[in-house]
Copies of this chain bind each other. A is one copy, B any other.
Amino acid sequence: MSLKERINAANEEALRRIVAADPVLVDVAPAGDVIPGLEDRMILHSGPPVTWERMCGAQRGAVIGMCLFEGWAQDPAAAARMLAAGEIALEPNHHHGTVGPMAGTITRNMWVWVVENRAFGNRAFCRQVESFQQFGDHSPDALAGLEKWRDTWGPALGTAVRKMGGVPLKQLVARALLMGDEMHNRVVASSSLFANAVAPHLVVCGLPTEQVVSTLFYAGNHPFLFLGLSMAAAKASMDPVRGVEASTVVTAMARNGTEFGIQVSGLEGEWFTAPAPRVQGLLLPGWKEEDAGLDMGDSAITETVGWGGAALGGAPGILSFTGGTAEQALAFSRDMRGISTGLSPDYLMPALNFEGTAVGIDIRKVVHANLVPVIDTAIAHREPGHGIIGGGIVRPPMECFTKALARFAEKYQG
C-alpha cells in the first residue's frame, strides 16, 4: 500500500470516528473532581503550552483572576508575583482532555460540563462561558459571576442532568444547526433547546425553589449557554481520533493569544505552532483596532468537527457579531469542503439545501489548496482587565499546517 493509500484509509477511519461520535452531557461538576491530573495550585489554559512570561495580556488577566477565585492570592499584584515566581503550574487544557473558551482558565473549584462520548467511552470537559473573566477581567464583579456559577447554577444543572441520566447532544446540535446556530459563536438555538430540556427536571430534583428559579432565568437567557457544551462535545468527539497511524486529520486547533497551535491525528502529542493571528471583525462600541488582542481560545475545537466556520453558511445570523455577508458565509462553508475529508451525515445546513457540514480538516489539502480553515471567534483586549470587546473571523497561520506536513513527511516517509 502506498503512503497515499495509507493516509486515505487512515483519514477514512478518522472520519468514521468523528461521525460515529455520540456526545452526551452526563454531569456538571467541580473540575478538581473530574479532570484527570488537575492538581491544586494548577491553572489549565487554552492553546498550546505557554509560560507566564510569554502569555498575552488577556490570558494573564484571566489566570490572575483564577488565583483570586481560588483564594491563592488576595490581590492581583500578589497573584502576578506568585505566577512570575513559578508557584502556580500552568498547563494546556488539551493535555487534560479538556477545553476552555478564550483564556480557557480552569482550576479545581471551577465547575465544568462533563461530556461522555458514548460511542467510545471517553469523557471531555469544558468550563462555562461568560463574557468577563475568561477575557481577562479579574474584577470582583467578574469573579462574582464565577462564584454564582460554582455555588448556584452549576450544582443545580449538575443535579438535573444526573437525574435525567444525561442529555444526548447529537440530535440537539443537529436541530440547532437547522435553526441557524453554528455551535461556536452562535449558540442561541441550542442554548434555548437545552434550557427547555432541563427545565422540568430542575423542578423535581429537590433543590430550593430560589435556586431553581435563578437557574431557569440563567439558562433561559444566556445566549452563550451552550458554547461550553458544544466545545466539550467537540473535544469528546475528536479525542478518539487522536493517534490514528498515518492520518493527516487535524484533531485540535487551539490558541493562547500568543501562539496558534494545531495537533494532527497521526502525529499524536505534538503541537505545530505559529504566532497567533489578528481577528478581522466587529468591535463593540468604544473599542479601537489597536485595543484588540490576538486570536485566543480552545473553541476552535468546534471547527474540527464541522461546526463553527464550516457551518457558517447555515448560520447567517452570526454576521451581526462577526461582520460579512450571507454570500461570504455560504462561501466559507463551501471552502471548508475543499480542505476536509468528508461531509457530516448528521449536521446539515438548510441554506445549502440540507447538505452536511465539512468534517475532518486534512493538513494535506490545506497546504495543497493553499487555503486555511475559517474560524469565527470572539475578540479579547490585548491588556489584562477587560471583558469581551468584539467578534470576527480568523484564519490560522499556514505555517502551522506546513510545519505539520513537513513533520508528517519526516515521520512517515522517514
Interface residues of A (CB under 8 A from B): 175, 178-181, 188-189, 192-193, 195-197, 199-200, 203-204, 209, 212-213, 216-217, 219-221, 316-317, 319-320, 325-326, 350-354
Contacts and interface: CB of A to CB of B under 8 A. Distances in A.
B199 A350 contact: no
A203 B213 contact: yes
Nearest to A213: B200
A326 B317 CA distance: 16
Contact of A180 (B179, B197, B320, B325): B179
Given A179-B181, A326-B353, 5 more contacts: A175-B188, A192-B192, A196-B216, A200-B216, A203-B212
Contacts of A192: 189, 192-193, 196
B317 A350 contact: yes
Given A180-B180, A203-B213, A320 B354 contact: yes
A387 B395 CA distance: 51
Give the secondary structure class of A's interface: helix
A160 to B, nearest CB: 12
Contacts of A221: 196
A204 B217 CA distance: 12
Contact of A353 (B193, B217, B325): B325
A232 to B, nearest CB: 21
13 contacts: A178-B188, A178-B317, A179-B179, A196-B199, A196-B216, A199-B199, A199-B216, A200-B217, A200-B220, A203-B203, A203-B213, A316-B350, A319-B350
A185 to B, nearest CB: 14
Contacts of A319: 350, 353-354
Contacts of A196: 192, 195-196, 199, 216, 219-221
A273 B320 CA distance: 43
B204 A209 contact: yes
Contact of A326 (B181, B204, B350): B350
